[in-house]
Structure 1
């Protein structure tokens, strides 16, 4: 028996394949970290880095975790990358089915968010969850929309949302500094401040980010870029500075 194969794939000696059992994803393999989204004056803006961690190792550095969904929505995901790809396949089928009606209407961000809520909750009830936290934002008919849903179907709407460590490190900054009338330039500056905090404090974050925006005019996703960082803190140069006592 080949010990490196999945036992369910091993063919018995009589040549008859045993019926496959039910399999579940017990834990994620390749994951992405925080996604941050917020409303601003003209629409919705979203940011995430492009890192993919294999366990505690940042193995992939070009994983795009923000995608355009239909005409009116942006989707960002943290968590298992392959499950995110599965969700994108679901959404491709949904958008295609909607377009086939050819009735002049198209799914808005609220409808897509409701669909994702049902998908995540359904998979959770089957004890086969999709290991993701999703941020869904968009603009339709002048109405801005921003919401999130996690792997067990918990969901809400807000003026700013975040997943992963962003919930703990970025949202306090957003609560203090977010305004409804932020210009695009101010919104980018605020997002970059949050991303820099995450870069310093989240071991899964990398200094390679994408920022996406969606307005009535359409969607724009930036090419990956880096932020200027500073690591010359005295504590790194001499960790005993300010320490009391001795070991």
Structure 2
């Protein structure tokens, strides 16, 4: 005889996965520059439509050769970091003198995101993975349904619409670190002005052949005196 318990779903059955993203971060922007890879993201996290948290770091070092930045649900990003910790520890246990490079980590993330999507249990994130190994720079992105690609510059969220045109116009392969930082700051400022979920406190991280550096967060200088900000409905009578 089948037990009643076997027929009734556990009360926790629906809480085992993210049904809807609650605490989310916005765009991540990444570029290649002369010596390596730079990633930038603000440190805000929204609780629903409320910009609730102001000091959330969304860029993390992965192993010896990679940096990972994430948009989307913060708890799912933490789950991805747990997967990657296990992957890196398992790789280190072989003690064979080799270590996973950014291309391998990106391929792993592609499979994870696509696999979870196929189970109708996606991780609600868009990821940017950059790194340097054996002098070769690598930069790629993957979203929550497994769509992925490599490029010289990538962005997630609104950044894919607002920052990429700036990057296409101004990015150069031999950019210095200082010029690349200025370009990223310009992109983040444009996003700040146009994305209600963005804040002016941002963080930059770099990775080169020598290693990884995640810089302390700092604030961008803003200007809100534009006439379009002062009177946003001019010429659009009847709108909000």
Normalised to the residue count of structure 1, the TM-score between the two structures is: 0.89
Deviations 1:188-213 (A, max 9, x none): 00000000000000000001000000
Secondary structure, counterpart of 1:211 in structure 2: strand
Equivalences for residues 37-76 of structure 1 within 5 A:
37-76=30-69
SS of structure 1 residue aligned to 2:96: coil
Does residue 189 in structure 1 map to residue 179 in structure 2? no
Which of 112, 117, 120 matches 2:110?
117
Distance 2:140 2:218 in 1: 26
Task: Give the Å deviation of 1:244.
Answer: 8.5
Give yes or no for contact 2:18–2:76 (8 Å, CA) kept in 1. no
Offset of residue 245 of structure 1:
7.9
The Cα of 1:234 is off from its aligned counterpart by 2.9
Q: Distance in 2 between matches of 1:82 and 1:186?
A: 34
Is the counterpart of residue 171 in structure 1 residue 161 in structure 2? no
User: Which of residues 185, 200, 205 is equivalent to 1:207?
Assistant: 200
Correspondence for 2:142: 149
Seen in structure 2, the aligned counterparts of structure 1 residues 130 and 232 have a Cα distance that, compared at 3 Å, is same
Please, which moves more after superposition, 102-111 or 231-240? 231-240
Matching residue of 1:159: 152
Correspondence 1:71-90 to 2 at 5 A: 71-90=64-83
**What RMSD, in angstroms, separates the aligned Cα atoms of the two structures?**
2.3
- Say which one has the larger Rg: 1
TM superposition shift of 1:232: 1.3
TM-score normalised over the length of structure 2: 0.91
Query: Alpha carbons of 1:97 and 1:34: their partners in 2 closer, same or farther (altered >3 Å)?
Result: same
In structure 2, relative to structure 1, the CA distance for the partners of 1:232 and 1:216 (3 Å cut) is same
- Quote the residue 1:9 is aligned against: none
Aligned with 2:127 (options 127, 134, 150): 134
State the 1:236 CA deviation: 4.1
Unaligned runs of 5+ in 2: 1-7
**In 2, Cα distance between the equivalents of 1:182 and 1:106?**
28
2:160 partner SS: helix
Distance 1:26 1:244, change over 3 A: closer
Aligned residues: 233
Question: What is the deviation of 1:106?
Answer: 0.3
Distance apart, 1:27 and its partner CA: 1.4
> Could you tell me how far apart the structure 2 residues matched to 1:238 and 1:172 are?
26
Distance 1:169 1:236, change over 3 A: closer
Secondary structure of 2:130's match?
strand
